[in-house]
Amino acid sequence: MGWLNGVDEDWLFDHEREQHQLSYAILLCQNGVTDVGGELSRALVDAQSELHYRHAPHLAARYIRERLLSMLEGFLGPRDMRDRRLPQRLPRAFGAAWGAAPSAIGSSAGPR
């Protein structure tokens, strides 16, 4: 779809996860929050309810929005969430990822 819209191939990704990694890297490199930046952040979070979900759309939209807020809380921290006037959530999405990380990378922590 991006190619049809004239997006250069260097900016297109084969996997959604790769696109998210770039998006988070850009987000973390930005300097300071402006009023417009806060509005954009809120608009991006609110847009989750306008996406089309195949199964249980109302439930899926709410879950995806909450998961996004949880990930943003983990990446940005409480102060930046407040600066963007985003609702704060416990970073549960981070906890699940970090909890799985030691076994995923072969950590030697814990009994064998």
53 is a domain residue? yes
DSSP structure string for 36-64: HHHHHHHHHHHGGGGS--SSSHHHHHHHH
Number of domains in the chain: 1
pLDDT digits (tens, 9 = 90+) for 56-66: 988 988 998 99
14 is a domain residue? no
Amino acid at 84: R
pLDDT digits (tens, 9 = 90+) for 14-51: 887 888 788 778 777 776 778 888 899 899 898 888 88
Mean pLDDT of 61-85: 90
79 is a domain residue? yes
pTM: 0.57
| Dihedral sign, Cα of residue 67, residue 76, residue 90, residue 87 | negative
Domain that holds residue 47: 35-89
Percent of the chain with pLDDT over 70: 78
